[in-house]
C-alpha cells in the first residue's frame, strides 16, 4: 500500500490518501470520512479509467455541501422522517437537515471526521472511529470499523463492523458516484442497469417512504430485464416526477442468504461492467438529480445526471415502519455488513 499527503483541512490538520492496487484495480481512499477518491478500472482496450467522481484534494471533501461524494455514511444512511424515532420507551430527536427530515444522520456526519488508521497491508486498509453516546442524537457509544479490501478477480469490498453499548440504529453505506465511461465524461443516462428487485418502496414528495412496498412490474421502476437509466426517466410517472428522476429504495430479491449479486451496470462507451453484491435488504438508486456545477477532479465540472449512486442499506426510515426490516442493533451485538464491487470489460 502507498500513502501520500492529501492536503490540509481548514484548521491545518493534515489528511492522508491510501492507495491500494493490483494488476486489475487501483483504489484511493482518504482517512477524512473514509471516502473513496479514485477507482481505476481497465476498459475494453485495457486502459485504466477512473470511474469514481471525486475532489482534487481534501478541501473539496471538507466543503462538500450535500453531495456526499465517495463517503461512507453513518450512523444512519438516507432519511428518517420528521427527524425523530422511538427506540424502547424513549423518543429521540435528530437534526432536520433536509426540510423536516434527517438525511444521512444530520449536520455532523462521519464523512467530515478524520478516522484512525487501525491496520493495513498490501491488499486492505481498516479505519476506526469512536462515536460517543448521543452522537448525532443516536443512543449508544459505538466503535466503528470500515475496511476496504482488494481481491485478485477485479473486485473490492467495503466492510462495515460496529459494536454499541446500547440499543441503537446502525445503517452504513457508501455514497460513491459512478460513471463507467470515466469521471467527468458527461451524462450516465446511457448506462444499462440490471437490478434484481421485484419491488420498491414508494416515497412522498420529501423522499420519505410511505410504508408501502410496490411491485415494479408495468412501471418505469422495472430494471429486472435491463434497460438504460434514461429509457423511461421522463415518463409521466408520479414517483419519477416527485424525485426528479430515480432516487428510490429497491427491495432486493433474496434467493440466497448472505452476500449476493443485486445489480449489474454497463458503461456504454468503455465496455466496463460493474456488479454489485451485498447482504443488505435494500439499495437506493440515485441518478444524481441534484448534482449541479460541482468542481471535481482534473478540472472537471460535474452536472445533473453525470453519475449514478448505488447505496445498499436498510430501507429509508425503517425505524418508523414496522413492516420494514429493522435497522436496530442490540447492545453488545456485532453489526457486520458488506458491499462488493466486481468489474469486467
Q: Which residues of 76-96 are buried (b: 16+ CB within 10 A; e: fewer)?
A: bbbbbbbbbbebeeeebebbb
At residue 62's C-alpha, the angle toward residues 95 and 146, to 5°, is 75
Q: Which of 161, 183, 311, 338 is catalytic?
A: 311
At residue 261's C-alpha, the angle toward residues 260 and 266, to 5°, is 170
Q: Which of 175, 248, 300, 321 is catalytic?
A: 175
| Rounded Cα–Cα distance for residues 344 and 264 (Å) | 11
Grid look-up 476496504 returns: 148
| Rounded Cα–Cα distance for residues 36 and 52 (Å) | 8
What size, in residues, is the chain? Answer: 345
Our answer to whether residue 322 is catalytic in this structure is: no
Pick the closest to residue 310 from 272, 277, 332 (CA basis).
Answer: 277
User: Which residues sit opposite 148 in a β-bridge?
Assistant: 125, 158
Our answer to whether residue 311 is catalytic in this structure is: yes
Cite the active site residues. Answer: 175, 311
Amino acid at each position: 500500500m502507498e500513502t501520500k499527503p492529501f492536503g490540509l483541512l481548514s484548521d491545518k490538520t493534515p489528511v492522508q490518501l491510501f492507495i491500494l492496487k493490483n494488476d486489475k484495480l487501483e483504489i484511493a481512499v482518504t482517512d477524512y470520512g473514509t471516502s473513496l477518491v479514485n477507482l481505476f478500472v481497465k476498459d475494453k482496450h485495457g486502459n485504466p479509467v477512473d470511474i469514481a467522481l471525486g475532489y482534487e484534494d481534501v478541501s473539496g471533501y471538507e466543503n462538500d455541501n450535500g453531495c456526499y461524494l465517495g463517503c461512507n455514511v453513518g450512523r444512519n444512511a438516507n432519511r428518517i422522517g420528521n427527524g425523530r424515532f422511538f427506540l424502547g420507551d424513549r423518543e429521540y430527536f435528530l437534526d432536520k437537515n433536509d426540510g423536516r427530515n434527517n438525511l444521512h444522520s444530520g449536520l455532523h456526519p462521519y464523512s467530515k471526521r478524520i478516522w484512525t488508521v487501525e491496520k493495513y497491508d498490501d491488499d486492505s486498509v481498516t479505519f476506526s472511529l469512536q462515536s460517543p453516546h448521543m452522537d448525532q442524537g443516536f443512543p449508544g457509544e459505538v466503535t466503528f470499523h470500515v475496511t476496504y479490501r482488494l481481491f485478485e478477480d477485479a473486485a473490492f469490498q467495503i466492510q462495515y463492523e460496529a459494536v454499541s453499548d446500547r440499543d441503537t440504529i446502525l445503517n452504513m453505506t457508501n455514497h460513491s458516484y459512478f460513471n463507467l465511461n470515466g469521471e467527468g465524461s458527461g451524462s450516465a443516462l446511457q448506462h444499462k442497469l440490471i437490478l434484481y428487485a421485484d419491488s420498491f418502496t414508494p416515497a412522498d414528495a420529501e423522499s420519505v417512504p410511505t410504508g408501502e412496498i410496490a411491485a415494479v412490474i408495468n412501471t418505469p421502476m422495472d430494471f429486472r430485464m435491463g434497460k438504460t437509466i434514461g429509457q423511461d426517466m421522463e415518463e409521466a410517472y408520479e414517483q419519477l416526477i416527485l424525485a426528479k428522476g430515480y432516487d428510490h429504495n429497491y427491495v432486493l430479491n433474496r434467493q440466497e442468504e448472505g452476500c449476493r449479486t443485486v445489480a449489474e451496470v454497463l458503461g456504454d462507451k468503455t465496455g466496463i461492467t460493474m456488479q454489485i453484491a451485498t447482504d443488505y435488504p435494500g439499495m437506493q438508486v440515485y441518478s444524481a438529480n441534484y448534482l449541479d456545477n460541482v468542481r471535481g477532479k482534473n478540472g472537471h465540472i460535474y452536472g445533473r445526471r453525470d453519475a449514478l449512486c448505488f447505496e445498499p442499506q436498510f430501507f429509508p426510515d425503517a425505524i418508523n415502519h414496522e413492516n420494514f426490516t429493522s435497522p436496530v442493533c442490540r447492545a453488545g451485538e456485532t453489526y457486520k455488513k458488506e458491499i462488493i464491487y466486481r468489474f469486467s470489460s
